[in-house]
Structure 1
Amino acid sequence: MSNVLSSQLEQNAKPVTLLAPIKLYDSFFLADEQDTVYVSQRELKEPMIVVHINEKRGHAFLMNIRGTLKKPIRVEIVDLIDAVESSELQKGETFQSTQSKTPYDQLNDNQKVKASLRLKIIESLVNDLDSVFYSSYRDGAITKVANENNLTKATIYRYLWAYLYSGMKLAALGFGVGEYANSVQPVRVLTKPQGRPSKRSKVTGIETRKIIDSTDIENFKFAIALMEKGGKGAPRTFKAAYDRMVPKKYAEKTVLLDNRQAYISGNEKKIHLKPENERPSFWQFKYWLEQTHGDGLVALRNKIVPHSKRHSDLNGRVGNAYVNVIGPGQRYEIDETPYDEEVLSEYIPGLSLGKPTLYVIRDVYSRYIVGFYLTFGNPSVFEMRNAIYQCLRDRKAWLESIGCADYLPYWIQMGPPETIAVDNAEFNNTLSEPLLKSLGVRVDFGKPRSGNDKPFIESVFTTLKRTKENTSPSHSGESKPEQRSNEARKHALLNRTQLYRDLMRECVHHNTKAINEHFHLEREAILDGVKRIPADIVTWSVNNMKSRMLPILDDRELRLALLPHGEVSVRQKGIYLKGQSQELFYNCPAIRLTGLQDRPHKGASRSKILSCRYDPNDISRIWINYKDEQYEAFIDQKYHRYEGMNQIERDELDALLILNEEEAHQEEANSKASLFANSEAAVKQAKQQIKQSGRISSTAQKVRENRKLENSLTDAPLEIEPNDTSLSDLDSGDNNKNNDSTKKTPWVDRR
């Protein structure tokens, strides 16, 4: 390294006589009116710098400044001087890259090691640059160095060009080389506010967030300085610091009230804050605190503790599809899949609805398709609940609801199973078991991202899609090019009812006609002439008492059992329904009589969590489960406005309330800002007055005597005689008969 530096110093120290106008790291730029300049038959299209000079041969080697560094080009110095004198090139000042300005001592340990290693590799080349510049790419010193260090020649060139580009500074090799040697790191520019939009913003369409800039950061620091200042009057919480900062830094205008208004209102000024999209919110301020202070935030406020992540006690059970199933109804499988058929609307002709989701339930023992359900909703517990109800309800009612009543003779009424294998996509531990617990059905979970635990339901999907895949022009293939093209959507033909009938034909064929050659019939079934057809297997098993299905439920009982499961928190002031976007409280006389809502004794929990069921479309009533009994609870009268409304309607009602109060939010903020400002002004004025009048020190006994004296000098409200004309001063009394004097009517004996 010392040889390189000394060589460079000697080269800079050589006296240049004829070549004095050209020096190392001089920069040259093209004239404004020219796009290309030719020097020594070399084409120059961009700004260049001199990285090496051979005085004996009269050559200068120029390297590009912009873009990826390339091998320097060789030009005659005389020609270069002529181009400058003819104004084809403009000579600039000595060029210095950003990396060359960084001292070696300021590099971190990794950068120092990297720089030293790279310089050691190219040291022999730097000491003899002529051998590099006067040789071809494939021959000479570069090839030798690359072979010695087991590197590519391109890597050696990148090290060398980056070193020359930076003015032979060792620190430059600690940074990027090649295309990164002179690249500019993009600066992140915020073009939209950070964070989620508020609920009000979604409803009103008015942006309530601000893009944080450097001015906001300085204001945040000012707020923290107020808090760290300490002492009396200093904000004690982050929210108070924010509230103190806002009127000082984000006031659009301050209106000074005249003496009369100030006397009436008790305030000296009224502050109008900037709109919400021009001032940061408290949550943006808090986010900056968390990013800036990190763990020190706890020490700064000492009341907030980081939120710990909750981990579920149960991560799902491992499925066991290959258990010994000995009868129909012992085990069902349910799953969903996107049905690859573009569907049209039944109500608006020609309106495309995309691909629906298909739910199917299948019996493991007989391979019988218990039922299916089509929906355009996203896969969820809600849709899974609808699918179970659709597949287990009365066959006649189900077939009539989907326009397939003529297929009733071909369907067998199946009851709930003992066990049902489900997917983790829609079911999880907190929702699945309570959903089917009242039916007496046990839930088995499949392994994540594995269909091996539900092989029979996975295979039936292919069966149900097989016909449409080969016959329908509106069937969307599984390949990516087919899905990206809209050919299937352009040729959509079927609506949902037509698709139901098409699936019905597939299921009837599978249940009543398709032979399962892999099924192993029992000896008695073979002797009875049973075929390996799912419907025949189910019928024979039921008739021979081999069915494991649970009792068939009435549609009303089944629906009640499948209503959404929720949780309530039984509190002293009411029964709170959890998991809703609104705060909903209920009253239940039976629960109150149990004593759960009594005031808890010391050390006992203040609330008790119970399970319940509710109708999402009408939350005016819920059914609470307590000690294997169901108690009906009614919504509190404060929330009667939500009666008969579903979640969407309740949200719309709340949105309307937000719209009604939109202007009030700004007025509240203005009033709050004025409150803080006037409070500070009052304290400041009181301090000035006390300085002028002085303070009389008193003992506790003297303070009590002073209070008695002050109380005796102050008239109590009841001691002041009311003014007879006080009402007439406030109201004209022309149309107010209540202000008329009472007329006494003489008493007359009418006996």
Structure 2
Amino acid sequence: MWQINQTFELEGVLYRILSITEFNVKWIELYNDKALPVDISVLELEELLSNQTLRPVNDPYLSSLLNSGTSISPAALKRRDESFIIIESMISSDEVFYPSSRSKLADKIVQKKLATKKTIYRLLRVYWQKGQSKNALIPSFGERGGYGSIRSNVKKPGRPSVYSDSRGTVVDEDIKKIFERVINKSLLIKTPKSQSDAYVEFREHFANSYPDIGVKDYPTKRQFTYYYRQNYKIDKRLKLQTSLTNYLKDHRPLQSTSTAHVLGPGSRYEIDATIADIYLASEIDRNEIIGRPTIYFVIDVFSRMIVGLYIGYDSPSYVVAMQAIVTACTNKYELCKKVGLDIDESDWPVSGLPDAILADRGELIGHQIEALASGFGVRIENAPPRRGDAKGIVERAFGTIQEKFKPYVAGVVQGARIKKHGESDYRLQAEMSVKEFTQIILKIVLHHNNYKQMLTYDPDDAMPADIRWIPRDIWNWGIKSKTGMLRAADPEVLRVGILPRKTATLSERGLKVWGVYYISSEILKSGWLVRYSGHTRSKNLEVAYDPDNADIVYLFTDNSYKNYWRCNIADRSRRFRSMTFWKVWELQRVEKTVKKDHESVEYEKLRELNKFIEDTKKGASKERSSVDIGQSDRQRIKGIKSNKSDAIHQERSLRGKVVNASQSKEKATITTLYGDEEDYDYPSFVPGLFDDESDQ
């Protein structure tokens, strides 16, 4: 499939393949005076070719090389042969394609004094760019001037200056080199200087190089700017002045549209989030500023219909994105009813699962999203990092929707700074609650879906001329006339199916998830909680949990994503009831911190306790060893009963002793409240309660 010397076009730039290995290809950019071979994987080339970003083109040098045999001059032949001798030893080895090895090979040629290193690299570049043949080194003696080229002038072109007596000078090769040095250093960088500052820098270099030339004869700023713009076209300047990601996102030529790559409604949804440009207040206390809410939008690419959303204070995450997707796939009547809006089904006729969802990698990536992909058949597509243009439709919708409410509400974010000198802080103007803000956004979304005319929409070639270019009409036409990609889904099954997953453990105490125990009637019936040491319980159970509700988890009994047991929090974990898992995790973190902080105290006191026990034991052993036994072991054992009886009698005698009244202090005055004092003597049967059983 790939051949050496094959030429391709990628993003308007021509490349030539120089070498091919099993997994990589080395190629070089044509028409670049500083280009060197670079690696690109075969897989990446195949992907670029399949999506038509990369396309083969005719070799621009092929015809000139084929026709050069008859028209080449003796001087050009001589120059070609001399140039080929210089690099012949390098091009015969594949090591020349590796920077470090190439440099070493060039140094050997320099040591032979055949050419400078700069000349060697120039010849290699020409050899590679023009087809890796000997004739590629034929000098272009006949090429002079031409459209878009800088011409060599003997006399300074242009009219004389009217407002200054500065004469300027003819820009020769030496001045061009200074131009190049300043342009590469100051303008063709990621943080370029202004052209005025770059020209000032050029004047300093020019003064150092030509100290005898007067200021009036310096090349003018116009000459400097003209050279810069003529030799560095806008696309080349942008590539050098911006990162590749920003260039692809903001400046690359657009060759197609999003609509051209979808078949109909539900073919692809785009989802993204933004932090709204408004500060909201508490609904209970309007003086309490809550902050800026998060907005998620889910948009159908084919019709531009906003099919789902989320508005709240939670940060963008998988969990919140799933809430937006659930609203996109279910009926919108309940969503609007929660905030006091009544709609007809025809106002928002969208429910069902799409064929694909395009999202950022951070939110819809990893094993958590596998349920949506394998359980419900939705293909997940991830946009490249920092490439908002990959989801251009939903990105643009954020700007359009927010610009609609900003002129009418207070607390709107203004500019990059929170407060300028002499201005009030817009955060203090917050007065709207999240419910009111949600009502406004929903109204704007309904207006967008039902009445917003899209003047730049690119319609399908089969769309009739009488179809209005508004999202609802395009959606309805697409459902009837195009490939219908939507599939019905039970709202509750979908909600549970795309919740975050976790592996749970099972013991006689119940199902343990995040340190919280759960039980259900199905678990009890299964016998999993029977307390028996030899009991075998299921392992690696998968559960789904809602981070916003710790009272319930869902235990999946198979891989269908539709069969699950609803498990409620057990009494053992009752302190976690009515909490979110966020609160549970926070509480557990505090408890672990407290336990960890107490460990040192506990271990110290345990050490003291162990020492006390050891010392007491040593004292007892010492006392025992100092007493003469005088009895046999049999006699000692036989005397246990009588010894214990004596000990009990002695203990009771000590408990019954009363402190001498003369030893007490001044007697207190006793006031009788309830007449005669009741008799609290032991009943006559009490001694029988304390009869000792015989020791065995």
Q: Pick the TM interval, shorter chain.
A: 0.3 to 0.5
Higher relative contact order (CA 8 A, sep 6+): 1
TM value normalised by structure 2? 0.48
